[in-house]
């Protein structure tokens, strides 16, 4: 595919012609890139909120508190309440309260995850004899001592189950670098115990979208999930039965799209995120598509 050809590019774009009752967005590459909002993000989110349509922002990253994402969006010019942010700190906490109330958890995670469990009153222990759930996560303090506790809980006492916040193998950094993510922690535990991880609550597991919308009266199948990655954001939408929108401002490009099986393809493909607003309404709002990169 000649993705550089503008005519060819336009032929692959597909915009929604209706509004949805809830909008869920990935953050990096979708709403912002580094320290700047992407074109159209501010006016789209502002207009959706003005219409009373709920908006949620998703991240798989459990090494930050939702407050930190809310602060960042607010700092970039998009004032955002913390309740609109749903990362795997939020989804894991909700999942435990819903699916494992009262069960004793051994978390392998960074302080934001542990703090959320504490606030939610989730019982935690490092005693393998009383651990019901080993919760693997992106843990910068992962070491042999923690691995031994998980091993004893899962393999020796044979009572605990293994779950994880999200599936990511590594966390990408600027300049093409990265850092080992939760998959490395899960693999270490699985390798020595033979126990398989049963569940995760990050993209693209459909549980992420259900848990993200848990405080709204909106079924995932009615929502639209927008992101810059086919393998996580769009896959999440498809797995959850939601509408999926790919925005070409981040990771995935038209070549990736061409290589995607029809059942994993997005319903919508957008050049800019504000094209989620139907064209008829954009015209009413005076959003000029030819204007140079408004925010």
Smallest Cα–Cα separation from 19: which of 279, 269, 229, 286? Answer: 279
Q: How far apart are CA 60 and CA 90, in angstroms?
A: 10
Q: How far apart are CA 207 and CA 232, in angstroms?
A: 13
Q: Taking a C-beta distance cutoff of 8 angstroms, is the pair 20, 270 a contact?
A: no
Q: Least distance in Å: CB of 59 to Mg ion?
A: 8
Q: How many chain residues interact with Mg ion (CB under 5 A)? A: 4
Q: Least distance in Å: CB of 253 to Mg ion?
A: 13
Q: Taking a C-beta distance cutoff of 8 angstroms, is the pair 133, 107 a contact?
A: no
Query: Using the rule CB under 5 A, which residue among 26, 84, 181, 274 binds Mg ion?
Result: 26
Q: Least distance in Å: CB of 232 to Mg ion?
A: 8
Stretch of 108-116, 147-155, 221-229, 287-295 lying at the interface with Mg ion (CB under 5 A) = 221-229
For residues 110 and 228, which CB has a smaller minimum distance to Mg ion in the complex? 228
For residues 187 and 231, which CB has a smaller minimum distance to Mg ion in the complex? 231
For residues 29 and 206, which CB has a smaller minimum distance to Mg ion in the complex? 29
For residues 32 and 151, which CB has a smaller minimum distance to Mg ion in the complex? 32
> Interface residues for Mg ion in 243-282 (CB under 5 A)?
none
Query: Using the rule CB under 5 A, which residue among 28, 152, 190, 271 binds Mg ion?
Result: 28
For residues 28 and 152, which CB has a smaller minimum distance to Mg ion in the complex? 28
Q: Taking a C-beta distance cutoff of 8 angstroms, is the pair 207, 95 a contact?
A: yes
Query: Using the rule CB under 5 A, which residue among 23, 24, 25, 29 binds Mg ion?
Result: 29
Q: Least distance in Å: CB of 168 to Mg ion?
A: 12
Per 3-state DSSP, the chain is made up of helix, strand and coil in percentages (nearest 5) of 40, 15, 40
Q: How far apart are CA 80 and CA 76, in angstroms?
A: 10
End-to-end CA distance of the chain: 30
Phi/psi at 88 (5° precision): -75, -10
Q: Least distance in Å: CB of 1 to Mg ion?
A: 22
Q: Is 168 in the site for Mg ion (CB under 5 A)?
A: no
Query: Using the rule CB under 5 A, which residue among 112, 228, 248, 272 binds Mg ion?
Result: 228
Q: How far apart are CA 212 and CA 147, in angstroms?
A: 30
For residues 28 and 130, which CB has a smaller minimum distance to Mg ion in the complex? 28
Cis, bond preceding 204 (omega within 30 deg of 0): yes
Interacting residues toward Mg ion by CB under 5 A: 26, 28-29, 228
């Amino acid at each position: 595919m000649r993705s550089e050809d503008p005519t060819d590019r336009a032929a692959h774009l597909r915009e929604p012609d209706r509004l949805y009752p809830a909008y869920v967005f990935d953050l990096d590459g979708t709403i912002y890139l580094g320290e700047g909002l992407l074109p159209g993000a501010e006016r789209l989110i502002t207009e959706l909120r003005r219409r009373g349509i709920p908006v949620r922002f998703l991240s798989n990253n459990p090494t930050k508190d939702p407050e930190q994402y809310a602060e960042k969006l607010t700092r970039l010019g998009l004032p955002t309440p913390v309740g609109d942010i749903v990362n795997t700190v939020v989804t894991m906490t909700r999942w435990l309260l819903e699916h494992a109330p009262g069960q004793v958890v051994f978390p392998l995670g960074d302080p934001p995850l542990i703090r959320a469990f504490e606030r939610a009153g989730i019982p935690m222990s490092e005693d393998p004899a009383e651990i019901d759930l080993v919760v693997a996560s992106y843990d910068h303090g992962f070491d042999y001592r923690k691995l031994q506790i998980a091993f004893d809980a899962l393999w020796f006492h044979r009572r605990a189950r293994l779950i994880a916040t999200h599936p990511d193998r590594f966390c990408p950094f600027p300049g093409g670098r990265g850092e080992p993510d939760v998959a490395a922690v899960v693999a270490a535990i699985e390798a020595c115990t033979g126990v398989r991880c049963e569940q995760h609550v990050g993209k693209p597991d459909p549980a992420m979208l259900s848990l993200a919308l848990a405080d709204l009266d909106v079924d995932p199948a009615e929502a639209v999930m927008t992101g810059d990655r086919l393998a996580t954001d769009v896959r999440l939408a498809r797995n959850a039965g939601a509408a999926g929108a790919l925005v070409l401002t981040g990771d995935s490009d038209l070549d990736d799209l061409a290589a995607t099986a029809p059942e994993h393809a997005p319903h919508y493909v957008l050049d800019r995120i504000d094209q989620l607003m139907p064209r008829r309404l954009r015209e009413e709002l005076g959003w000029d598509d030819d204007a140079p990169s408004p925010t």
